[in-house]
Amino acid sequence: MIIVVTRCLRSLRMRGLQQSVWLFLLGLSLALISSFAAPDHDKTQALAQERYGARAVETVAAWRRLIEESRDLPDLDKLNKVNTFFNRRILFQDDIVVWQQTDYWASPLEFMGRGSGDCEDFSIAKYTTLQILGVGNDKLRMVYVRAKIGSTASVAHMVLGYYPQPTAEPLILDNLITSVRPASMRSDLIPVFSFNSDGLWVGGATASSADPTARLSRWRDVLERMHQDGIN
């Protein structure tokens, strides 16, 4: 597990959390839509075949079945199914390996097409899928954390948080852990900030400390690629 965790966080460790926060505040768009429309599955599968081949088509088809079978489930069941789907099917690899870049935010199709990605890509894919399944944006936040790995110093990491109520303890979806767990059971994670389309929260704050603004950024690029892929 230590080896897997170390590899999973290597790219974020290289650039450091302070740089991540700085890039986020200066350039990452928080123009997240409150929910994603039903994806154009036929278009997405056709693009998967064209760009990535048969294995990607199989993964996208399985993702489509996941969505169709999970729409009417309670939120907790949706969380578990989505978390398990991506954690079991997708391999962690650093951006430099997958994209030959130190920091690249992949769309869900790119993530499933390559069959690999880093912690940000896992979080984006889970967030998008849960939005498609009707989980409200007010319950979901991308969360940057400091993660303690063994006896080593903490390193930067990204997870997805589900908040049953705005001030409630979140459930954490993490590519490093197979199960969805309450934040109180993840003493290895120290929250730094979280965000969604409604704002930005610093640490464990219950009130937003900033209004989201739309600007050219990695996330805005991701949204555009999702649109081109038939996902929103």
Return the domain boundaries, the chain: 2-228
pLDDT at 133: 96
Question: In the chain, which residue ranges form alpha helices assigned H by DSSP?
Answer: 2-8, 10-15, 17-27, 41-51, 54-70, 75-89, 95-98, 108-114, 119-132, 218-228
Question: Which class for 26: exposed (0-12), middle (13-18), buried (19 or more C-beta within 10 A)?
Answer: exposed
Calculate mean pLDDT across residues 78-95. 97
At 181 the three-state DSSP class reads strand
Mean pLDDT of the chain: 82
Residue 203's H or E segment, with its range, is none
pLDDT at 221: 85
pLDDT digits (tens, 9 = 90+) for 13-58: 555 555 444 444 444 444 444 455 567 888 989 999 999 999 999 9
d(C-alpha 216, C-alpha 232), whole Å: 18
The answer as to CATH 3.30.56.10 being correct for domain 2-228 is no
Q: How many other CB atoms are found less than 10 A from the CB of residue 68? A: 9
d(C-alpha 37, C-alpha 67), whole Å: 12
**Higher pLDDT residue, 31 or 201?**
201
Lowest mean pLDDT among 23-32, 87-96, 210-219: 23-32
SS3 readout for 28-63: CCCCCCCCCCCCCHHHHHHHHHHHCCHHHHHHHHHH
Q: Which two tokens stand for residue 153?
A: 């110093």
The confidence band for 88, taking pLDDT boundaries of 50, 70 and 90, is very high
Whole-number percent of the chain with pLDDT over 70: 76
pLDDT digits (tens, 9 = 90+) for 120-179: 999 999 999 999 999 998 999 989 999 988 777 788 999 999 999 988 999 999 999 999
pLDDT at 34: 44
